[in-house]
Chain A
Amino acid sequence: MANFYETGPAKPVTESVRVDKVTPGARARHNIRAAAVILFAIIGLIPIFIMVVTAFKTRADVVAVPPKVLFQPTLEGFVFLLTERVVLPPAALAEKKQSLEQLDWMERVAMASGQTITGPSDYVRRLWNSVIIAGISTLISVFLGLLAAYAFSRFPIAGKDDLLFFILSTRMLPAVVVTIPLFLMYRQFGLHDTHLGMILLYTAFNLSLAVWLLKGFIDEIPKEYEEAALVDGYSRMQAFRKIVIPQAATGIAATTVFSVIFAWNEYAFALMLTSEEARTAPPSIATMLGRGGIEWSAIAAGSLGFLIPVVIVTFILRKYLLRGVTFGAIRQ
């Protein structure tokens, strides 16, 4: 190879880059790093891949050794997830096979493993509980967090630093430590296994995060914007609504996503503080492990359904998030 330092790169450099970054060694190191990142991403995606694949496998394919990469996809997992079934005695099964044409597809799938559907499972209801609890608690905590963060950012508040630390400290105890006292309290107040109880709990937990995150974003908004509005005859609240909120949009989006993800994924509290009425998806997917043998494909299908809402929220807010998670990116 010709001496790089004399001949320079083979192609003209058309991007902004430091001179020592285009030497062959630097380029090679860059490629190695890029390869490492891609490899890491692939390793990280393997569980998700396995989950998706498992959701479409039959019971036999799931446990096959070595794992089957090519297989006949089936909706068995989803049918098992969404229904309650009983095993039919062989005589009844044979009888049913006669009238195969009149059965709907779900029944047919169930019958393939000798079962018949007795009713819908409670998976959809649990998922709906999750949506309600995560959604409402996120709305409340972002709304309250926004007001609190604005106050902390703009007004002289006595003991501001202590208050902020106190707010943060509510997140310092691990969930398992506080579940027992909370469990007792909730039983006393009649909040056990209620939507209200879970919404209050997740709001309380998310609020500290919301205040801290949003304060950072609001601090970045020059106070001159509101001052200009104040001089122009707007009230403080109007300035907040018309100027601050639109400009804190990235922060609000980021906080929303973080809050949704926390409330959506939360497991320990939900397991202890709910049983039937307000049970959310995470503990209910886990309890499927124990019923009538391990239905791996049903669990995988349940997890897949559980992932989708978070993906949707994140997807809707992605354009704000990209700027939002890199704090301080909204400088004028």
Chain B
Amino acid sequence: MATIELRNIEKRFGETYAVKPFSLTIQHGEFVALLGPSGCGKTTTLRMISGLETVSGGTIHLDGANITWQKPGYRNMAFVFQFYALYPHISVRENIAFPLKAEGMAKSDVYKRVDEVVSILRIENLLNMRPGKLSGGDKQRVALARALVRKPAAFLMDEPLGALDAEYRESMRAEIKRLHLSTNATTVYVTHDQVEAMAMADRIVVMSAAEVQQVGTPADVYHAPANLFVARFIGSPGMNLLAGPRRGEKVELPGTGNIYTIPAPQREVLQAATPEGKNVIVGFRPEAAMLNEQGALTGEVYATDMLGAYKLLHVSFDSDTVVHIRCDRMVSHPIGARVRFDLDPQQVRFFDATTEKAIGPTQSAGTAPISVQAANAQEKAA
């Protein structure tokens, strides 16, 4: 069991906040990703959980026990570093055995355990090599083995795939995920790559400028971002965001004749949230736009990206406003051509132009938050 509870933890350097106070409960067996651009405080948060960094305020609890001021070694957590931190002067076997030797375990037991872990990760053939001779992927496998060997209550991973080639990254992603499922250990995973976070995490904590922006499932942060930062940061490209004054149930978007009618279910909320004539921001994902001869919105094709499975159209509304639209790869649109499209009313989000916060719910419709404990129970039963 390992439930990690962060209560109002914060980190200040003098008067500058590295992490502004926030609370979060990470359930046993949950895979939580801390996601954000570099310098947003995600690594600092992870290091505070591990004890490699002290908190400036707040407390950290592991299964109810206050571990805020415990030494890193007593927290029973394993840390996986971005640059592996494998000790170059000893063999892979000794590297993996290293944490066990701290516990003063008998030699024969140590190597038995090493062999177990090694077979899980299928790195038997590397045991006698020095870390310097390994490829990036193998180094990270060894680092994972070293983390795994102690059977820790929680894994803390700091961009473990950040230093890998794209080729290894995807296979390692799957490997870490499988490892998580088989060990069922609580995992906190720091990354700046939103694809990684989306693919692996049960819940994502989006951070920016030392502040937590949103905590939610991958579906939540993708479909119902809590603010403009999350909307822009998640997805590649990010959400299309268009500002325009609201008049009645219509929003005047940039470009000529681009009048967007607010879908019926959202009218009331929106009318209550924004005064008549003031700006509101309309957000939609590239795939929420459907090309349609009779579409309400129109723009000029500015560029097209052929991405294999689909095509991404850059459509300019005016000189400052370009939106991205996903369309069929077979459709051909010359640059400069005028296209019309509609938006899927289910997938349109609205944001307050001044606070930049979402208007309406920030949980994605139709995907009730996954109860991790329930999922765990199912797994155990299976």
Q: From residue B291, how far is it (CB to closest CB) to chain A in Å?
A: 50
CA distance A246 to B89 in the complex (A): 7
The distance in angstroms between the C-alpha atoms of A270 and B129, with both chains bound, is 50
Range of interface residues on chain A?
10 to 19
Query: In whole angstroms, what is the CA distance A123 to B77 when docked?
Result: 62
Cβ of B115 to closest chain A Cβ, rounded Å? 19
Stretch at the interface among A40-48, A222-230, A307-315: A222-230
Interfacial residues of chain A within 318-332, with CB under 8 A of chain B in the complex: 332
Listed in ascending order, the chain A residues whose CB lies under 8 Å from chain B are 222, 224-225, 227-235, 238, 243, 246-247, 249, 332
Inter-chain contacts of B71 with A (CB < 8 A): 230
* Contact residues of B between 84 and 121, Cβ < 8 Å to A: 85, 87-90, 98-99, 102-103
Distance of A43 Cα from B88 Cα, bound (Å): 42
Q: Which of A232, A235, A332 contacts B98 (CB 8 A)?
A: A232
| Cβ A233 vs Cβ B99 within 8 A | yes
Is there a chain A Cβ closer than 8 Å to B150's Cβ?
yes
| CB pair B79 A247 closer than 8 Å | no
Q: Closest CB-CB distance, B12 to chain A, in whole Å?
A: 15
**Mind listing 13 A-B residue pairs with CB under 8 Å?**
A224-B83, A225-B85, A227-B85, A228-B79, A228-B85, A229-B98, A231-B50, A231-B79, A232-B99, A233-B102, A234-B102, A238-B102, A246-B90
Q: Contact partner of B85 among A222, A233, A234, A235, CB < 8 A?
A: A222
Question: Which of A230, A235, A249, A332 is close to B83, meaning CB atoms less than 8 Å apart?
Answer: A332
Residues of B within 8 A of A225 (CB): 85, 87
Residue in B77, B83, B87, B90 whose CB lies within 8 Å of A231: B77
Q: Which residue of A lies closest to B139 (CB)?
A: A332
B-chain residues with CB within 8 Å of residue A231 when the two chains form the complex: 50-52, 72-73, 75, 77-79
Given contacts A222-B85, A230-B51, A232-B146, 13 further A-B pairs with CB under 8 A are: A222-B83, A224-B83, A225-B85, A227-B85, A228-B87, A228-B146, A231-B52, A231-B73, A231-B78, A234-B73, A238-B102, A247-B87, A249-B89
For chain B, which range describes its interface: under 10, 10 to 19, 20 to 34, or 35 or more residues? 20 to 34
Residue of A nearest to B158 (CB): A224
Q: B: which residues have CB within 8 A of A? A: 50-52, 71-75, 77-79, 81, 83, 85, 87-90, 98-99, 102-103, 132, 146, 150
Highest count of chain A CB atoms <10 Å: which of B50, B78, B81? B81
Closest to A246 in B: B89
A247 CB to nearest chain B CB (Å)? 6
Contact A230 B72 (CB under 8 A): yes
Whether B88 and A332, one on each chain, are in contact in the complex, defined by CB atoms closer than 8 angstroms, is yes
CB distance from A251 to the nearest CB of B (A): 13
Q: Is the interface of A mostly helix, strand, loop or mixed?
A: helix
Residues from chain B with Cβ under 8 Å of A243 in the complex: 87
Q: Specify the chain A residue showing the minimal Cβ separation from B74.
A: A233
When chains A and B are docked, how far (Å) is the Cα of A246 from the Cα of B81? Answer: 20
B150 contact set on A, CB distance < 8 A: 232-233
B50 cross-chain contacts in A, Cβ below 8 A: 231
Given contact pairs A246-B89, A247-B89, A230 touches B73 in the complex (Cβ within 8 A):
yes
Measured between alpha carbons, how far is A227 from B72 in the docked complex, in Å? 9
**A227 and B88 contact, CB distance less than 8 A:** no
Question: Is A233 a contact of B73 with CB atoms below 8 Å?
Answer: yes
Instruction: Select one of B75, B81, B89, B146 contacting A224, CB under 8 A.
Output: B81
A232-B73 in contact (CB<8A): yes
Asked if A230 and B98 make an inter-chain contact with CB atoms under 8 angstroms apart, the answer reads no
The answer for the CA separation of A224 and B102 in the assembled complex, in Å, is: 17
**Closest Cβ of chain B: how far from A78's Cβ, in Å?**
44
Task: Pick the 3 closest A-B CB pairs, nearest first.
Answer: A232-B99, A233-B73, A233-B102
Tell me, in angstroms, the Cα distance from A320 to B146 when the chains sit together.
Answer: 29
**Minimal Cβ-Cβ distance residue in A for B102:** A233
- In the bound assembly, the distance between CA atoms of A234 and B90 in angstroms comes to 16
The residues of A that contact B78 with a CB separation of less than 8 Å are 231-232
Of chain B, the residue at the smallest CB distance from A225 is B85
The interface residues of chain A lying within 8 Å CB-to-CB of B81 are: 224, 227-228
In the complex formed, the residue of A with least CB distance to B89 is A246
Chain B proximity of A210: nearest CB distance (Å): 21
- CA–CA, A230 and B87, complex, Å: 13
When C-beta atoms are compared, the residue in chain B nearest to A245 turns out to be B89
CB neighbours (8 Å) of A238 from chain B are: 102
